[in-house]
Amino acid sequence: MHDEFAVRQVIEAYADAVTRRDPQAYGALYAPDAEWVVSPPADRHVVRRDAIVAELRREIDRFDFFVFTVANIVVSVNGDTATARSTAHELGRAADGSGPGLPAMDVWARYDDELRREGDGWVFTRRRYTILYLDTTVPAGQSFQT
């Protein structure tokens, strides 16, 4: 049960780090040779930790408001590897003048993850992000994020 909890902590730490816009923290959760696959309509396949971090930064930094949460985490551990599935919700609004891209996003998605044990912890080796719902309507609320 300890390993299942440790894998859950990686998934939850990722959501926290992305919401806080901390690329060093979320980057540390990926293996150097990791893959990140995103379903249509975004349709991306990014390989290697540095490229994944750069892509995430490019996307997240566009938003004046952004929050990422995960729930319904199901984990299966087999020795030094693990798989996990979780439901993700992202809400973001692009800053004025942020350039091309979606003006906003309210996304529900499923993450299918593969992880491996490295040292005393776990890292993502492959994340598949399947978009289940996307709304690009700009939220009218006020952001208090700094």
User: DSSP string covering 111-143, please?
Assistant: EEEEEEEETTEEEEEEEEEEEEEEE-PPP-SPP
Tens digit of pLDDT for each residue in 8-55? Answer: 999 999 999 999 999 999 999 999 999 999 999 999 999 999 999 999
43 in any annotated domain: yes
Burial class (CB in 10 A: 0-12, 13-18, 19+), 4: middle
CATH code for position 93: 3.10.450.50
Residue 32 in domain: yes
Tell whether 144 is covered by a domain: no
Report yes or no on 87 lying in a domain: yes
Structural domain of 105: 2-135
Band (142; pLDDT cuts 50, 70, 90):
confident
Question: Which helix H or strand E contains 107, and what residues bound it?
Answer: strand 104-118
Residue 110 lies in a domain: yes
The pTM of this model reads 0.94
The answer to whether residues 106 and 91 touch, using CB atoms and an 8 Å cutoff, is: yes
In a domain? residue 146: no
Within a domain: 140: no
When pLDDT is cut at 50, 70 and 90, the band that residue 99 belongs to is: low
Banded model confidence at residue 1, pLDDT cuts 50, 70, 90: confident
What is the number of domains present in the chain? Answer: 1
| Residue 72 in tokens | 């319904």
In a domain, 116, yes or no: yes
- C-alpha 99/C-alpha 91 separation (Å) is 18
